Amino acid sequence: MNKKIHIETLGCRLNQIESESVAAFFSDDGFTVVMKSITSKDKEDSDCVLCVVNTCTVTAKAEQKARRIIRLLLKKYPSSIVVVTGCYAQVNKEEILAIDERVVVLPGRVKSRLSDVPAIVSSVLKESENNVELVQKKIKEHLESKVLFKPVTDTSENPFKLATDTFLHHSRSSIKIQDGCNCRCSYCEICIARGKSVSLEVSEVLKQVEKLISAGQKEIVITTVNIAQYKSEYEGKSVDIAGLLEILLNKTKGVSFRFSSLYPQIVDERLCELIKDERVRPHFHLSVQSGSDDVLLKMNRPYKAQAVIDACNRLKAAKKNPYLACDIIAGFPGESDEDFKATMNLIKECGFTWVHAFPFSPRPNTVAFTMKPKVPEFVTGKRVDELLEYSFDSKIKYIESLKGTVHKAIVETSHNSNALKMHDGKKVVHAVSDNFLHCVVLIDDGKEIPSAGSEVDVEIVSPLVDEIRRNGEMEVLARLW
């Protein structure tokens, strides 16, 4: 049997970082690592000995998708044990184990133990290389005895062990500086799944950033569960997220920083003064959830709607024409037509370029699970559709406002654009701009095709309207400058 594994990742950017780190551990041990998502069209492959599924529990749909992927992996990789980890694995272990006897569950809070798995699998393959059933049995036995034997605590174990400066599946690098959450939002299971808030020491953040710079990275995404809860010390002083950003800007060169998410209450004058630095990307995603103070109170969110408006105004004062995005939950229990109208008014006043709209999904073990009155599904669906329609129009309008402007971008993939009929015969690369636009970048004849991970200048040509309205990945036609 070959040393081959498959990794599937669902959910947040933290999961993506952790999966990349797991991939690096296996790759360093001589394994071939596949990170392309499995599909029903893929052929059966008996060479794969292990699959890892890094799951999400934010919504019931995320859990349903995880179960579908697990069953598909079991079918497509008949020789493989499937290790399921992440937030879903933390909160609903028994449901996952019931899927198949070849499934092993590693709760999300001990996900770091995956770093021990490559050596275990390698040892088993050496002992029983050509006996598939024996390999499966021994891998499962070893995982259960050597990886799952310790108790799971209320805080993630070694939460920053899964860190890497090698990214197999992403061109843009990330660093996890905080994990867990001390808040108890009434709808959210993440505080249960990931445990109490923990922060990476500033000195360790600097070490990891320097490694990424040495590896040639031009952009680093600062990633957290709850960025407002980042707390550390440096040179005898207390450091919050603004303090950390100041240290990073002062102590490093040649790399830009992007926040994965911001909370409205931390977007103050001090942070925005630092955000003015050209090395901070002009793209900000705010965790908002609702524009109604009544709903925010029921959600147990630590701010009111005015704090969101103030945060957006400060960000727009700090950066010229930034890309502003937010999360909105539609159909929260008791959300009236007036509450939803307040949300629509808020996103329009703030001028959000994009809204990640989600229908409310009741999660077990949360206060909102039993809240009433429930909003009918068809009403929630209409509200999500209205939010999406606003988002499509807003993004197109935003891109139109950028025509002819030049932006920094990180190249993601290179290929020939014959598949894109409107550019038949033109060479293109895919890239993500400083303001988080996913660009199809035309390469004029005679120009060298840039490599993945490199930083280039691109001129915005036009929005890809049909792609945007299909909620496709690519949003902008651009040209290499």
pLDDT at 476: 97
pLDDT in tens, the chain (481 residues): 678 999 999 998 899 989 999 999 999 999 999 999 999 999 999 999 999 999 999 999 999 999 999 999 999 999 999 999 999 999 999 999 999 999 999 999 889 999 989 998 998 888 876 678 888 888 888 887 767 666 667 777 888 878 776 666 677 789 999 999 999 999 999 988 999 999 999 999 999 999 999 999 999 999 999 999 999 999 999 999 999 999 999 999 999 999 999 999 999 999 999 999 999 999 999 999 999 999 999 999 999 999 999 999 999 999 999 999 999 999 999 999 999 999 999 999 999 999 999 999 999 999 999 999 999 999 999 999 999 999 999 999 999 999 999 999 999 865 444 333 335 578 899 999 999 999 999 998 888 889 888 999 999 999 999 999 999 999 999 999 9
pTM metric for this prediction: 0.90
- Fill in the amino acid letter for 260: S
Burial of 67 (C-beta count, 10 Å sphere; 0-12/13-18/19+): middle
Of 445, 450, 422, 439, which is closest to residue 477 (Cα–Cα)?
439
Q: How far apart are CA 93 and CA 444, in angstroms?
A: 53
Spatial CB neighbours of 68, under 8 Å, sequence gap ≥ 6? none
Name the E strands within 130-251. 173-176, 178-179, 198-199, 219-223, 232-234, 237-239
Query: For residue 251, what is the DSSP state?
Result: H
Q: How far apart are CA 128 and CA 351, in angstroms?
A: 61
Burial of 388 (C-beta count, 10 Å sphere; 0-12/13-18/19+): middle
pLDDT at 55: 97
pLDDT at 347: 98
Residue with tokens 């923990």: 198
C-alpha dist (Å) from residue 385 to 328, 353, 448, 473: 12, 16, 42, 19
> Cis omega (within 30 of 0) on the bond before 322?
no
The SS3 call for residue 281 is: coil
Q: Which residues sit opposite 432 in a β-bridge?
A: 410, 438
Residue with tokens 């015969």: 425
Residue with tokens 């109170």: 297
Q: How many residues can be counted in the chain?
A: 481
C-alpha dist (Å) from residue 406 to 171, 322, 433, 456, 460: 21, 14, 10, 10, 6
Where helices occur in 238-356 by DSSP H, the ranges are 241-251, 269-275, 293-299, 305-318, 337-350
The SS3 call for residue 364 is: coil
Query: For residue 449, what is the DSSP state?
Result: P
Of 339, 466, 479, 317, which is closest to residue 409 (Cα–Cα)?
479
The upper half-sphere exposure of residue 466, i.e. CA atoms within 13 Å in the direction of its Cβ, equals 3
Name the E strands within 422-475. 427-433, 438-443, 455-463
pLDDT at 420: 37
Where helices occur in 143-200 by DSSP H, the ranges are 190-194
Q: Are 66 and 53 in contact (CB under 8 A)?
A: yes
pLDDT at 224: 95
pLDDT at 423: 52
| Torsion sign (Cα): 423, 428, 433, 438 | positive
Looking only at the bridges linking them, the beta strands covering 438-443 and 476-480 are parallel
Query: For residue 181, what is the DSSP state?
Result: -
